[in-house]
Chain A
């Protein structure tokens, strides 16, 4: 009831609209209005300035499965490294490799000598926190976009500090296809009332 009245009252006040037309006509005169008062741009944070061009970035921790890291808890550094590609029958059987699996297996990315690390194609050993460098060896275009904030999700400030996710936060390194999602409910269809 309240709103009915208010709507009607608004119509009574159509005079307002006429003034509004005048207002619209002289739109530029609002330069000094309080509501549109221009504020100075917020200072660009150091995170942004240091930003995307650096070799390494501040990113969140890798999404390890529970109790999986450090790998050396199980992989005794004293043990001999079996460097031959084979099917795993006892451990890590849950891992399904669908990521250029014809040409690749564990030790192409995981380091055999230092089990808690990864390695690049050139032999450089890198921590899991820098795994994007490993991914970027093949997916250079994606790495470039990611550094520039265009590939992947960002949270934070468009003009300042923002959090980057690692590639592996969204893509399972072993089967990187982004999984299908259940969509949120469809909107209600408008109903025509008689």
Chain B
């Protein structure tokens, strides 16, 4: 690296880009600016618009239909939070597949942002003995309860701390997001997350064009590539426009609640003030914005 000491990053990147371009050979469809651009948070409005335009045309061409890549920012003074009623959840996994469809996860290899854990009433919450692969004919099964886990949107996120490239960060509204173009696929965050909430694309994600959700967000459900990490973003493309996340609307028992932590009349605050609320692995001091409660 000593040779680099006299050149700045941009020059170095240009040299590196030259080598990389040679190495890439047949990769002509890789958008140049998506690959060699600055960090997403360093882009000016013009650069961001330009990038969005490129991404939209790239995706539209790849999937043969119009794809929208949104950049809606966080709402002022809003801190998004989630609450899940463990006394209601029946473990039907409707949320899992609603999430997959909404957020353009790979169908094969399968990527699920939500994992529903089946647990024994007798043991209580015990991750060692939890089963995510239960295959009952009907749920809930007697003597079992169900605990869905996805990204807990921690205030003190281990994943962000461990990321060597700054490809993941916490937004002002509390959502931890990933810049897929800056993720180098090192998977440090995957192992750092105590909730198993981050998922790696081990091979090229398979997403049939007719199943694509064309409404995407640059920090959320836009199509991913092989070699990057992804996770729940509270449906950033929906919730930043005020809508409920897809899993909330899909839950047939109404176990999933969502809203602004700062809204004194909101659902989340009502739950805080009236229910028994807890977070997973509180002892790790991750301070999640995803709460569990017993509503009954």
A-to-B contact residues, CB < 8 Å: 1-3, 5-17, 19-21, 23-24, 27, 30, 33-42, 48, 51-52, 145, 148-160, 162, 170, 178, 180-189
Q: List, sorted by A's number, 15 A–B pairs whose CB atoms are closer than 8 Å.
A: A3-B227, A6-B227, A13-B13, A13-B16, A19-B9, A20-B164, A30-B41, A34-B48, A38-B76, A39-B75, A40-B76, A149-B257, A149-B266, A157-B242, A158-B244
How far, in angstroms, from A178 to B130 measured CA to CA in the complex?
24
The answer to whether A27 touches B169, judged by C-beta atoms less than 8 angstroms apart, is: yes
Residues of B within 8 A of A14 (CB): 184
The answer to whether B94 touches A184, judged by C-beta atoms less than 8 angstroms apart, is: yes
CB–CB A150/B270 < 8 A: yes
Given A41-B77, A186-B133: A12 in contact with B254 (beta carbons within 8 A): no
Q: Mark B194-220, 1 if CB is under 8 A from A, else 0.
A: 000000000110000000000000110
> How distant is the Cα of A51 from the Cα of B264 in the complex, in angstroms?
13
Interchain CB contact under 8 A, A35 and B41: yes
Name 17 extra pairs, CB < 8 A, besides A3-B225, A153-B252, A162-B244: A15-B12, A23-B166, A24-B160, A33-B42, A36-B41, A36-B73, A38-B76, A39-B73, A39-B76, A149-B270, A150-B267, A158-B239, A159-B263, A183-B91, A183-B136, A183-B138, A185-B135
Asked if A36 and B171 sit within 8 Å, CB to CB, the answer is yes
Shortest Cβ distance from residue B193 to the other chain A in the assembled complex, whole angstroms: 17
Q: Which residues of A contact B275 (CB under 8 A)?
A: 150
How far does the Cβ of B67 sit from chain A's closest Cβ, in whole Å? 18
Chain B contact residues: over half helix, strand or loop, or mixed? loop
Interface size class of B (residues with CB under 8 A): 35 or more
Query: Per a CB cutoff under 8 Å, which of A34, A40, A159, A186 touches B43?
Result: A34
State the CA gap A152–B41 with chains docked (Å): 39
Q: How far is the CA of A184 from the CA of B25 in the complex (A)?
A: 43
Residues of chain A lying within 8 A (CB to CB) of residue B270:
145, 148-150
Q: A7-B226, A14-B184, A35-B48 are in contact. Are A21 and B90 (CB under 8 A)?
A: no
Interface residues of B in 48-62 (CB under 8 A from A): 48
The verdict on A181 contacting B90 (CB below 8 Å), with A15-B12, A153-B254 known, is yes
Q: Are B43 and A33 in contact (CB under 8 A)?
A: yes
